Amino acid sequence: MPSPPPPFHLLRSHHSPISSVHFNPSNTLLYSGDQDGYISILDLKVRRVVGYWKAHEGGILGLEEWQGGLISHGRDNIIRFYQPLKKPYISFGLNNTQKKGLEVVKSLPTNTLNFCRFSLLPLSPCTGDNYDEVNKKGKSKEKEALMAVPSLLDSELVDIYHLPTMRRIHASVNYLPKVTPLTKDTVVPNQARSGLVMSIHLRPDPATSQITLSIGYEDGQVESFISSTQSIDTVFDARMSQSPDDNPWKMIWRGKGHNEAVMGMDVDRFGRYGWTVSADHRLVRYDFGKVIQEKLDIDDQSIMKDYGMKSIGNSSVAVNASGKVIAVGGWDGKIRLFSAESFKPLGTLSSHRETVHTLSFANPIDQTQMVQDTDDESTIDIEDDDNSGNEDDDDSDVPPRERWLASGGKDTKVALWGLMDFEKGLKDDR
């Protein structure tokens, strides 16, 4: 295997550790946020920063685009929804950091005690076997979404909100009711809560038209829940419920892959597999799809498989769109790539000098995005700013956008990597 290349682009506009990076759906913009609350928007076609402003009084926990507009989650206990960035892209906030940046259209109070970012699930009117087909043809417009966040009242619980109404439809979905009064002969079941919520992931299950929720906790435990898409029509609060059977979210599995807090977690786009990393040297995989298909017992630990890496201390993990490649960011500043199926090492990327806090793979390019790119071809007008924090790039050997990986580290840099096509090699390994 050839030696891994250096990043083809470095973004240096931030002045504090990077805490979040996110590609927009068409891979034309890269959003990045830092621990001082600043957000940067990088136009990936010309590699210039087109936005940089202080969005939150606390650090940025998460960034994501929905309906063309940016969503930012800050440590100041606010989730902000912004007006879409419109073409032509004119740089703003680069020289005057007091500028407001994108216009905020809505805000949602949230709880950030546990440093856990939100999880967004756009709802499509099409579910079932033709989910992929319809979405690729662009006939499905995502006008609604579900957002999972740590509960306002209890950092060990999760609430579900509906967008764009901003209504909390399900409260404390992972609440475990207290056991009956104890006597000296009572055997206490293992129903203790697992500490603060560290990571949340909402995913669709096209095969069953259901929704899955995966949660990583402070004590290293992971839980998986499932619910029907029809449940969004019912308002529910687990704390007020008379019976656990009323909860639209059913726990289907729980297990502990680490002895310390889940520092990084990701789940593939259909909720089939999940991966976690921690302060230890283990990369743990969870086969959530097997639990659903085979209706395994809630405590069946056979779905967990771990791989021991040579170095300890990992803070981030990400799975690519195909679900075949895993990237792990370490405390040593290195990014290690693995086969999702076999854990075979695929290479190590080295550029960051300190901890890699966040990773994001680019999105797959489908027909809808290709048409959009053609239409958008040349309306960009960007101010020429020597302080935009970018370096000159040679595009001659850069792979296509769908094979890009973005990383952000404690060293305040955002790196863009062009990965080789691993797909053929991984097929040959099976």
> For residue 85, which of 164, 127, 31 has the smallest C-alpha distance?
31
Per residue in 14-24, pLDDT tens? Answer: 999 999 999 99
Sheet of 304-308, strand order: 264-267, 273-277, 282-287, 304-308
Q: Which helix (H) or strand (E) holds 136?
A: helix 131-137
Q: What is the pLDDT of residue 131?
A: 40
The span from the first CA to the last CA of the chain, in angstroms, equals 18
Per residue in 168-190, pLDDT tens? Answer: 999 999 998 765 555 555 554 54
For the chain, the average pLDDT equals: 85
For the chain, give the number of residues: 430
Distance between CA atoms of 59 and 201, rounded to whole angstroms? 21
Structure tokens that stand for 344 in this block: 């075979």
Q: What is the pLDDT of residue 378?
A: 32
Assign domain 9-135+142-175+193-388+395-429 to a CATH class.
mainly beta
Distance between CA atoms of 179 and 315, rounded to whole angstroms? 35
The pairing of beta strand 29-34 with beta strand 264-267: unpaired
Question: What average pLDDT does the segment 99-103 reach?
Answer: 78
- DSSP state letters, 355-406: -EEEEEEPPPP-HHHHHHHHHTTT-------TTS-B----GGGPPPGGGEEE
Question: What average pLDDT does the segment 105-117 reach?
Answer: 93
Q: What is the pLDDT of residue 244?
A: 79
pLDDT cut 70: percent of the chain above it? 80
Distance between CA atoms of 252 and 42, rounded to whole angstroms? 40
**pTM over cut 0.85:** yes
Domain locations in the chain?
Answer: 9-135+142-175+193-388+395-429
| Beta-carbon contacts of residue 133 (< 8 Å; ≥ 6 apart) | none
Neighbours of 348 (CB within 10 A): 14
Q: Name the pLDDT band for 281 (thresholds 50, 70, 90).
A: very high
Per residue in 3-57, pLDDT tens? Answer: 778 999 999 999 999 999 999 999 999 999 999 999 999 999 999 999 999 999 9
